[in-house]
Amino acid sequence: MVQAYILIQTEVGKASAVAEVIAKIPGVLLAEDVTGPYDVIVRAQADTVDELGRMVVARVQQVDGITRTLTCPVVHI
């Protein structure tokens, strides 16, 4: 199982709506709107890195109002 944080920038005023839509995507554990350089932070999981990448590109980045994403896989060192 691979987990990652997805940091999302949105159009002005869209953070809450984006978080609400993303929270319903299968594999998303948590989606919250926040303050700071990013507007939404998502915790997601998938079976493989490739599946995680497909989720981000095919599902998350297609949500209306998103301008940029940054995916940060969780590592255990």
Contacts of 60 (CB under 8 A, 6+ apart): 6, 8, 22, 25, 42, 44, 66, 69
Q: What pTM was estimated for this model as a whole? A: 0.94
What confidence score (pLDDT) does residue 17 get?
Answer: 97
pLDDT at 21: 97
pLDDT at 61: 94
The residues, any chain, with a CB within 8 Å of residue 38's CB and separated by 6 or more, are: 7, 8, 9, 70
Report the pLDDT averaged over residues 52-70.
Answer: 95
* Helix or strand run (H / E) with residue 56: helix 49-58
**pLDDT tens readout for residues 7-39:** 999 999 999 999 999 999 999 999 999 999 999
Average pLDDT, rounded, for the chain: 96
DSSP conformational letter for 17 = H
| SS3 call for 24 | coil
